Chains A and B, each alone.
Chain A
Amino acid sequence: MADKPLLPELMKAHGISRRGFLKYCATLTSMMALPPILAPKVAMALEGASRPSVIWLSFQECTGCTEAITRSYAPTIEDLIFNAISLDYHHTLQAASGEAAEAAREAAMEENWGNYLVIVDGSIPLANPGFSTIAGISNLEMLKQTAEGAAAIVAVGSCAAFGGIPHADPNPTGAVSVADIITDKPIINVPGCPPIPVVMTSVLAQFLAFGLDSIEVDDLGRPKAFYSETIHDRCYRRPFYDKGLFAESFDDEGAREGWCLYKLGCKGPTTKSVCATVKWNDGTSFPIQAGHPCLGCTEPDFWDNGGFYKPLSVPAGDYRKLGLAAVAGGAVLGVAGGAIARSVKSSAAAKHEPVTPDDLEKKS
């Protein structure tokens, strides 16, 4: 594996010009919110990257994340990123299978103990280890084994980052996220269902070029470069929101005019992602542009945050019963409190003795 060709040779083989490569590096640099002056450094780092070993583990997932990254808009360049790393194990992509595949993983781990990168997509079932196994090894066990010698873990997709759809109520498999299990390794969450491909590769590129410490994350472990602004803040339909112009249904005039989808359940205001700026499929579009409200897939528990078509201001869950109980309870307490206060006051009034100037002094 160490004799893989370096990036410049690969570029030539794939018919990519150096100019194209540098453009890609500049894009990455700006996406990572790095100053443009660092673009050459990104290029140099990628060209001469030390090719760390990467092990990609897929657990309870739909392969959507892998599909997205391999079908991204510049597949050859994104592919190169994979070539800049040494992807030693990825059970969807690798040719080997069965014991040979597991042997490859074990060999990579042994060879690079303490230095390899683990990428995880999919959640881990805890209810029964038999719910998801690979080569007879449960997901939980494989994650623990592999993570032990890892330098860092990248949890790709909402399943790995937050539990995702398997974790959704009633969570039959007891699915949890990587961070719920591994607590002693740095974990970078790249959520999304799936994440935007270029976001995934940018995180890897930044890791390659500047190391783990250069990746600043938010309180949910997401790289700030891609998850610090809401979709709403950058949405091209935002002016309609500000003017109070909303589509009320999917076939009304507002929908045809491209007004704000807030009332149709858009989660853009509470969802942090670069969808509205980077967009998907070679920058072609993103859900809101296609006329569908944002589902909020980069946020934890997006599947259970009320209905996809319920406006954000409508509370999720069985709030009516709870609310009624709270109102009733409050009313009972209020009436009781009021009755007590009134009785204290009226008994005081009953005890009132008219005051004359003679009553103003204490006489002993």
Chain B
Amino acid sequence: MSASLEKGLNALREQIDAPVASFFTSCVSCGICAEACLFYQETGDPKYTPIHKLEPMRRIWSNEFTLLGRAKSMLGMGRKVTEQDLADWEELVYDSCTMCGRCTLVCPVGNDITMMIRKMREGMSASGNAPEELVAGAKRHWEKGSPMGDLLPALTAHVKNVEKSTGIQVNVDKKGVDYLVILSAQEVAVYNEVIEALARILDKAGVSWTFSSEAFEGTNVGIQIGSKDLAREFVSRTVNAAEKLKVKGVISPECGHAYQALRWEGPNLIGRTYPFEVVHVIELLDRLRADGRLKTKGMDHAKLTFHDPCQINRRGGINHEPRRLLNMVADNFTETEDAGTMNWCCGGGGGVGSNESATELRLQAFQRKKRQFEAVAPEKIVTMCAYCHHILEESLEHYDMDIEVQGLTELMAEYLEDA
């Protein structure tokens, strides 16, 4: 089978529901979403106005879902969406939107523009207008379990190393434990220190947990590329594994859209509620802190700042937890401007970071964070998303900024009180 324009248009028609119709109807073209958009702000190009990124979908809604539009279409007046339109919009829908959710938050009529971009991507992917990197990632994820290929051998090696260095037994496929721990490909492949950190913290807190050899990947290319069928398959893998292992909860990793996929989109994708709880790892650490099960010793005196991952804070609701944890272990923690729910994106979310064609734009967009970091001048930036971590490192290097980036779980483990 092949992608086609007709499939794409059909996918868009499927996506247009009552909320979308009311959003398009109520948009007053005020342009406030542009002011909230990282890409518009850093380029000043009005084509990056968030609502404009939805123009092809809006046109389908107008032509086919409204009485006036249908009357116009009958008279041959409505402007149809063409193959070329969708090709032209690829840059706007994939390269210049990290689905960071700022536009949704500022829209005076309450339009969830971010959700509509997610829907718009359904049509883009079904019509063959998704970026090739995401398509390749989806294929690898489908066949080999992760967008970075088969990572099971790497995970197995990490588990062995952690067991050796810490003396803590790390379970794989163990039934009946409290939690199933999910990682992101980025963590398994690059930032694997988090495995040891997590093992030590959970061991100390007396939390039982396991990995699953069938589902250790929290990433979901289906969400990024915009295909509910793919997203459902990837989420199902985790849900099935968790159900098989009969865990009470699944710990979502330090990864933005993994949290978005499992916690918020997942139940809608599979059409039912989970028999287990989904908790973000930082959420869990904060709970352990409150219960007195996470004890630390000593303080990091370096000047620290925190980068909020959009999907975990603004779109995920985890705002105070990381700050409470940071204040446990850092005595020189300084916030950047706009920190918290209105934080600016690192520029790489929503699949943007993997698109080669978006690199220049993404680095231009990073200037917002750059200025904010320069104002604070931290020695270290802490975050709670491995992909933000990756994009921050890459962008800082591009701008010759010598600032260390660290995951929050790892930082907490550094100051864990010894037995």
Contact = CB atoms under 8 A, between A and B. Distances in A.
B126 A362 contact: no
A96 B401 CA distance: 103
A80 B2 CA distance: 98
A360 B70 contact: no
Contacts, number: 76
A295 B93 CA distance: 60
Contact of B135 (A352, A353, A360): A360
Contact of A359 (B16, B67, B126, B141): B126
A253 to B, nearest CB: 44
B14 A361 contact: no
A34 interface: no
Given A344-B13, A345-B14, A361-B2, A356 B64 contact: no
B229 interface: yes
A344 B73 CA distance: 14
Interface string B1-31: 1111001001101101100010000000000
Given A355-B229, A362-B4, A340 B70 contact: yes
A357 B134 CA distance: 10
B227 interface: yes
Nearest to B230: A355
Nearest to A337: B67
A221 to B, nearest CB: 37
Contact of B128 (A352, A353, A362): A362
Given A333-B67, A336-B67, A341-B21, A357 B139 contact: yes
A348 B138 contact: no
Interface in A102-122: none
Given A348-B13, A362-B2, A337 B227 contact: no
A347 B227 CA distance: 19
A349 B17 CA distance: 11
The binding surface of chain A is classed by DSSP as helix
Nearest to B222: A355
B197 interface: no
A354 interface: yes
Interface residues of B, number: 31
Contacts of A352: 10-11, 14
A363 interface: yes
Contact of B13 (A345, A354, A358): A345
Is the contact region of chain B dominated by helix, strand, or loop, or is it mixed?
Answer: helix
Contact of B230 (A337, A345, A349, A357): A357
B142 A357 contact: yes
Contact of B229 (A341, A345, A351, A354): A354
A360 B7 contact: no
B212 to A, nearest CB: 22
A363 B2 contact: yes
A358 B4 contact: no
B225 interface: yes
B240 to A, nearest CB: 18
B130 A360 contact: yes
Given A337-B67, A355-B230, A362 B3 contact: yes
A357 B138 contact: yes
B66 interface: yes
A361 B225 CA distance: 12
B135 A345 contact: no
Nearest to B132: A361
B67 A348 contact: no
B125 interface: yes
Contacts of B1: 353, 356, 358-359
B16 A353 contact: no
Nearest to B228: A355
B10 A348 contact: yes
B191 interface: no
B67 A355 contact: no
A361 B135 CA distance: 8
B166 to A, nearest CB: 38
A357 B140 CA distance: 9
A344 B14 CA distance: 8
B40 interface: no
A340 B65 contact: yes
A340 B16 CA distance: 12
Interface in A147-188: none
A-B CB proximity, top 10 nearest:
A348-B13, A362-B128, A363-B2, A355-B229, A357-B139, A341-B65, A348-B14, A357-B138, A360-B135, A357-B142
Interface of B: 1-4, 7, 10-11, 13-14, 16-17, 21, 64-67, 70, 125-126, 128, 130, 135, 138-139, 141-143, 225, 227, 229-230
Given A340-B67, A359-B126, 15 more contacts: A336-B67, A345-B13, A348-B10, A348-B11, A352-B14, A353-B1, A357-B135, A359-B2, A360-B125, A360-B130, A360-B138, A361-B2, A361-B3, A363-B2, A363-B3
22 contacts: A336-B67, A337-B65, A340-B70, A341-B16, A341-B65, A344-B16, A345-B17, A348-B10, A351-B10, A355-B126, A356-B1, A356-B230, A357-B138, A357-B141, A357-B142, A358-B1, A359-B126, A360-B125, A360-B128, A360-B225, A361-B2, A362-B3
